[in-house]
Structure 1
Amino acid sequence: MTILQLLASLTPIISVMVFLVLLRMPASKAMPISMVATGLAALFIWQMDTTLIAASVVEGLLSALTPLTIIFGAVFLLNTLKYSGAMDTIRAGFTNISADARVQVIIICWLFGSFIEGSAGFGTPAAIGAPLLVLLGVPPIASAVVALIADSTSVSFGAIGLPVLFGIEQGLTEGGVNMAAVQIAQHGGNFADYAQYIAMHMITIDLITGSLLPLVMVCVLTGFFGRNKSFLEGLQVWKFAIFAGLAFTVPAWLINYFAGPEFPSVIGALVGMAVVIPVAKKGWLLPSKPWHDFAESDFDNAAVTEQSATPAKFSQMAAWSPYLIMAALLVLSRVVEPFKAFLISFNISWTGLLGTELKAGFATFYAPGIFFIVVCLIGFVLFKMNSKSIKQSFTTSCSSMLPTIISLGASVPMVKIFLNSGENSANLASMPVALADLLANTMGAVWAWTAPVVGIFGSFLSGSATFSNMMFSGLQYSVADNIGMNHALVLALQGIGANAGNMMCVMNVVAAATVVGMAGRESEIIRKTMPIALVYAFVAGTIAVAWGGF
Structure 2
Amino acid sequence: MGIPLKIGFEIYQSGETVTQVLMLNLLPVLVLPFLLALLYERTEGVKIDWRSELRMLTGAGACFALPYFVTGLFSIEFPSVAAGSVGLVLFMVMFAKVQGRIGPAFWWKAFWPYLVFVLMLAVIKPLVAGYSIHFGEGLRPLQAFQPGIIFLFAVGVYLAAGRYRDRSSSIMSPLRDTLASMKLPMLTILLLVCYTQLVRGSLAGMVSSGMGIMPIWLQMVMLPVAGVSGSFITGSATMSNLLMAGIVQMPAIGGTAVAIALLHTGSALGNAISLQNIVMIRSVVPSKESDGWIIATNMLPVGVYIVIVAVGYLVLS
- Does the TM-score normalized on the shorter chain lie above 0.5? yes
Alignment-mate amino acid for residue 163 of structure 2? F
Report % sequence identity. 20
Secondary structure in 1 matching 2:211: helix
Structure 2 counterparts to residues 54-65 of structure 1, below 5 A: none
By how many angstroms is 1:541 displaced? 1.0
Provide the aligned length of Structure 1 versus Structure 2. 307
Name the residue aligned to 1:173. Answer: none
Q: What is the root-mean-square deviation of aligned Cα atoms in Å?
A: 3.6
Corresponding residue number in structure 1 for 2:304: 535
* Residues 88-487 of structure 1 aligned to structure 2 (within 5 Å): 157=1, 161-169=2-10, 196-226=15-45, 228=46, 230=47, 232-233=48-49, 236-257=52-73, 259-280=74-95, 283=97, 316=106, 317-318=108-109, 321-333=112-124, 335-338=125-128, 366=149, 368-382=151-165, 384-386=166-168, 393-419=174-200, 430-445=201-216, 446-481=218-253, 487=256
Q: Distance in 2 between matches of 1:207 and 1:167?
A: 22
Structure 2 distance, partners of 1:466, 1:209, is 21
| Alignment partner, residue 175 of structure 1 | none
- Residue pair 2:269, 2:302 contacting (<8 A) in 1 also: yes
Give how far 1:240 is off: 1.5
CA contact (8 A) 2:120 2:150 kept: no
| In 2, Cα distance between equivalents of 1:279 and 1:408 | 41
Asked if structure 1 preserves the Cα contact closer than 8 Å seen for 2:220 and 2:253, the reply is: no
Q: 1:412 to 1:516 in 2, by over 3 A?
A: same
**C-alpha distance 365-274 of structure 1, shift in aligned 2 (>3 A):** closer
Cα pair distance change 1:208/1:381, threshold 3 Å = same
SS at match of 1:271: helix
Q: Does the CA contact (< 8 Å) of 1:198 and 1:492 recur in 2?
A: yes
2:250 aligned partner, one-letter code: S
Residue pairs, 1:2-81, within 5 angstroms: none
Q: TM-score, normalised by structure 2?
A: 0.80
CA-CA distance at 1:478 after TM superposition: 1.8
* Structure-1 separation of matches of 2:288 and 2:177: 14
Question: Helix, strand or coil: the match of 2:149?
Answer: coil
Structure 1 residue runs without a partner (length 5+): 1-156, 170-190, 289-314, 352-356, 420-429
RCO higher in structure (CA 8 A, sep ≥6): 1
Q: Distance in 2 between matches of 1:234 and 1:509?
A: 30
1:330 CA displacement: 4.3
Residues 350 and 361, structure 1, Cα contact 8 Å, conserved in 2? no
Give the structure with higher Rg (CA): 1
SS at the partner of 1:400?
A: helix
Q: Offset of 1:457 from its aligned partner?
A: 1.1
Taking structure 1 as the reference length, the TM-score comes to 0.49
